[in-house]
Amino acid sequence: MARKETKAEQKARVLKVLEALDREYGTEFICYLNHETPWQLLIAVILSAQCTDARVNMVTVDLFKKYDSPQSFAQADLKELEKDIHSLGFYHMKAKNIISCCKDLVEKFGGEVPSTIEELTSLAGVGRKTANVIRGNIYNEPSIVVDTHVKRISRKLGFAKAEDPEKIEYELMKVLPKEHWILWNIHIITLGRTICVARSPKCGQCFLQELCPSAMPVKAGKGEH
């Protein structure tokens, strides 16, 4: 890029990006992990580490019938739970974390999923990303979830510079209006899965092409970066 974007210019571009995302994807809060209760979503998010949401949904359909409460998971046999979630990868650590997490839910929080970032991150297997998923989807608390799509595309758009997800979260909190924090993750996941794909971004097909610094070379050349 020739000259550095001013804060006013970035603010105007951010609003245009958000308007384009809203037009393209709507403003409905969507969660791609199937769940009926807060604790089911918490477990589904723990299971989703290094795994697709679709694959998690295939497993939880039976898992949540077998284990129908946090108490049930808290009392689960580790080896048996490992077999139940084996296909999702990292099954030993996930099973261990789920049992420990649910024990704390039962013993410390009366079986209810807490709402604060501090309480949530005190649970086994729950980092800021998982905590923010719960806060946004269950409690409608403005929160930014930084997954691989959000990290990659936020950097491409020039809205974040850091590598660390937590630092990116704070960068985006300064750039994005609060009412769009939850939607940002929903929209960017969709964009990252369909158009701004990691290995071969389809910049020529992207409705954000004119607003994305990383897409600018496409106009002059034939290839996509």
Q: Which residues are catalytic?
A: 129, 147
Question: How far apart (Å, rounded) are the C-alpha atoms in residues 92 and 83?
Answer: 9
In contact, 203 and 224? CB cutoff 8 Å:
yes
Q: Cβ neighbours of residue 213 under 8 Å, at least 6 residues apart?
A: 1, 156, 157, 158
Give helix 181-194 / helix 7-25 axis angle, nearest 10°: 70
Question: How far apart (Å, rounded) are the C-alpha atoms in residues 109 and 206?
Answer: 45
Nearest to 143 by CA among 113, 121, 175, 117: 117
Structure tokens at 100: 């420990």
Question: How far apart (Å, rounded) are the C-alpha atoms in residues 76 and 80?
Answer: 7
DSSP 3-state of 39? helix
